[in-house]
Amino acid sequence: MAAGKNETWGMRMARSVEALWDMVIRNGSVLDGSGGPAFVADIAVKNGLIAQIGRVSGRGREELDAAGRLVTPGFVDIHTHYDGQATWGSQMTPSAWHGVTTVVMGNCGVGFAPCRPNDRDRLIRLMEGVEDIPFPVLAEGLPWDWESFPDYLDALDRRAFDVDIGTQLPHAALRVYVMGERGADREPATTADIAAMAALAQTAVEAGALGFSTSRTLNHRTSDGQPTPTLTAAEAELTGIARGLAAAGKGVLQVVSDFTDPQAEFAMLRRMVEQSGRPLSFSLVQSPRGPNAWRTLLEALSEATAAGLPIKAQVCGRPVGVLLGFELTLNPFSHTEAYKAIARQPFAERLARLQDPTFQAALLDQATPAGGHAIAAGLTRNWSTMFLMGDRPDYEQTPDQTLAALAQARGITPDQLALDHMLSKGGRGMLYLPFLNYADGSLDPSHAMLTHKDTIPGLSDGGAHVGMICDGSFPTSNLTHWTRDRTRGAKISLETMIRMQTRDTAEAVGLFDRGRIAPGYRADLNIIDYEALTLDAPAVAYDLPAGGRRLVQHARGYTATLLAGVVTYQQGEPTGALPGRLVRGARPAPGVVAAE
């Protein structure tokens, strides 16, 4: 890093042959992850760890002046899907652009290990359907230099990254590996099947998996429409696998469920924890189909934790919403015969047709869904809950900003407004359709979930949903919206939000060596220009294997991000340093001896 470039940020770098420290960050306003107030201090780093905090007198081989900036622990994102990207890439973006220094993947029961060669396409189709990562991308990108889960860990261990990576054993892959076609077809597991899965789960966490994940939601289907193999797995199967982790004495459990019967489903999860002793987290969102079910689950969660059970709910700080556009997987005209005729054309050719007034007239004429198109089209034409995605993303817009309201005010149809907006920006305009956490038209439910004592931030799905959802930016929107910009209700203190997405998330998956700024902890750090911190609008990049498309979202205001004391990003740009590695298993806090 050139000193001159750093000077333009109000930062300086010094180098000294006689340096006492590897790195010194000076004069920053430190939020240490404890939830306590900020304090001005220097931070000295040695051998990738925080060595001293306060007034540091010795020089560093490198020095950064963080005066006027926040210095925080690096963010720990425990719910991502970089399982494929980590096997072919080194940069775990978009998460790394948002101050994230540790990601945990293998969530929702989907992943690529263990896997026999003849099941590779099956697991790719499952990931394609569940996480919207195209088959050609995965087929070209995955090296498949593994079969067992320990093999997969070894493959990751040979690679270097811009973040640290932890992973979990996915139930779908495990079930198919043990049961073959019976597992894929959701047949009940036998006693022998369960014993085999439990043994493999024990082996996986002993080899370095952070835990085990499963899915019990109908939303998770293969690309050809089949439900995930784990959808109807019996309690005996889930508990048996959890006992495999108990036999290893380590590992966490992660679950996503529809909670169609919230009380019965939570009671089963509670029994899993009671019988295995392993910590469990589950996804908690507000669904429009049952807008108050989250309250029932939080009540049950409070009762369980009051009884001493280690259970957390993973929640998110903004709506889970689909982005619609002509460059993306879906748009409000996807169901029309006119659009279907051009859907597979290259974007430039599609755009030329879409700009033709005659074609536009046909598109609008066919837009009203009928017959079999009605249900599918209704999901992408819900004008009363759909918003424009602007240059400055707003994830808590008001009812008068819906497409229905805006179109009425302008004297045009919502179809015409949608078409005009998506054709803006060279055909790259996007619409935003919140479908979870926004049944009330505000984020008050999210606030209640975020501030509950037994929840942690999660559910970003970084690396997944590449043509429809771009939520890897959750860490930045949590900071900007909840601690600074919100105008429609209560906020959350900055020191609390920093604690939530550093210490709280790290400890939830057993990583007690990070998430704090204190001597002996990992020197994973962010230097943030808080007042300037801004989310850019989502955009599309074509940088996946096979030229695959993905949604990305940048941020401005991260002056620098450090991993193990090494600067990996400066002003949002990668330095090229790749100090990140696979994290094998839980990590004790400094000074604590790890359990054997």
pLDDT in single tens digits along all 596 residues of the chain: 333 344 444 445 545 457 899 999 999 999 999 999 999 999 999 999 999 999 999 999 999 999 999 999 999 999 999 999 999 999 999 999 999 999 999 999 999 999 999 999 999 999 999 989 999 999 999 999 999 999 999 999 999 999 999 999 999 999 999 999 999 999 999 999 999 999 999 999 999 999 999 999 999 999 989 999 999 999 999 999 999 999 999 999 999 999 999 999 999 999 999 999 999 999 999 999 999 999 999 999 999 999 999 999 999 999 999 999 999 999 999 999 999 999 999 999 999 999 999 999 999 999 876 544 444 556 799 999 999 999 999 999 999 999 999 999 999 999 999 999 999 999 999 999 999 999 999 999 999 999 999 999 999 999 999 999 999 999 999 999 999 999 999 999 999 999 999 999 999 999 999 999 999 999 999 999 999 999 999 999 999 999 999 999 999 999 999 999 999 999 999 999 999 999 999 999 998 765 54
Domain-located, residue 514? no
Closest CA to 27 of 70, 65, 74, 60: 65
Query: Residue 40's pLDDT is what?
Result: 98
Q: Are 366 and 471 part of one and the same domain?
A: no
CATH number of the domain where residue 532 is located: 2.30.40.10
CATH number of the domain where residue 258 is located: 3.20.20.140
Q: Are 336 and 306 part of one and the same domain?
A: no
The whole domain housing 388 covers: 322-436
Tokens encoding 547 = 């030229």
Q: Are 17 and 114 part of one and the same domain?
A: no
Backbone angles phi, psi at 442, to 5 degrees: -150, 175
Query: Residue 484's pLDDT is what?
Result: 98
Domain-located, residue 103? yes
Three-class secondary structure of residue 393 per DSSP: coil
Query: Residue 594's pLDDT is what?
Result: 56
- 137-175: burial string, b at 16+ Cβ within 10 Å, e else: bbeebbeeebebbbebbebbeebebbbbbbbbbbbbbbb
Q: Are 544 and 449 part of one and the same domain?
A: no
3-state helix, strand, coil in the chain (%, to 5): 35, 20, 40
Domain-located, residue 415? yes
DSSP 537: P
Q: Are 150 and 217 part of one and the same domain?
A: yes
> Looking at beta carbons, which pairs linking 48-51 to residues 24 or more positions away fall under 8 Å?
48/22, 48/522, 48/523, 48/564, 48/565, 48/566, 48/579, 49/519, 49/520, 49/521, 49/522, 49/523, 49/564, 49/565, 49/590, 50/517, 50/518, 50/519, 50/520, 50/521, 50/522, 50/523, 51/21, 51/519
Domain-located, residue 579? no
Domain-located, residue 596? no
What does the alpha-carbon distance between residue 258 and residue 322 come to, in Å, rounded to a whole number? 19
Q: Are 68 and 153 part of one and the same domain?
A: no
Domain-located, residue 580? no
Q: Are 17 and 120 part of one and the same domain?
A: no
Taking the complete model, does pTM exceed 0.75, yes or no?
yes
CA atoms 508, 510, 515, 519: torsion sign: positive
Query: Residue 1's pLDDT is what?
Result: 37
Query: Residue 7's pLDDT is what?
Result: 42
Domain-located, residue 32? yes
Question: For residue 63, with 0-12 CB atoms within 10 Å meaning exposed, 13-18 middle and 19 or more buried, which class applies?
Answer: buried
Three-class secondary structure of residue 23 per DSSP: strand
Q: Are 95 and 156 part of one and the same domain?
A: yes
**Who contacts 118 (Cβ-Cβ below 8 Å, separation ≥6)?**
none
Q: Are 68 and 81 part of one and the same domain?
A: no
- Give the number of domains in the chain: 3
User: Last residue of a domain, which of 482, 508, 534?
Assistant: 508
Tokens encoding 57 = 């007198």
User: Last residue of a domain, which of 410, 436, 462?
Assistant: 436
Query: Residue 59's pLDDT is what?
Result: 96
Q: Are 372 and 400 part of one and the same domain?
A: yes
Domain-located, residue 100? yes
User: Last residue of a domain, which of 395, 414, 436?
Assistant: 436
Q: Are 204 and 93 part of one and the same domain?
A: yes
Query: Residue 593's pLDDT is what?
Result: 60
Q: Are 484 and 536 part of one and the same domain?
A: no
Structural element, H or E, at residue 559:
strand 558-563
Structural element, H or E, at residue 250:
none
Query: Residue 592's pLDDT is what?
Result: 73
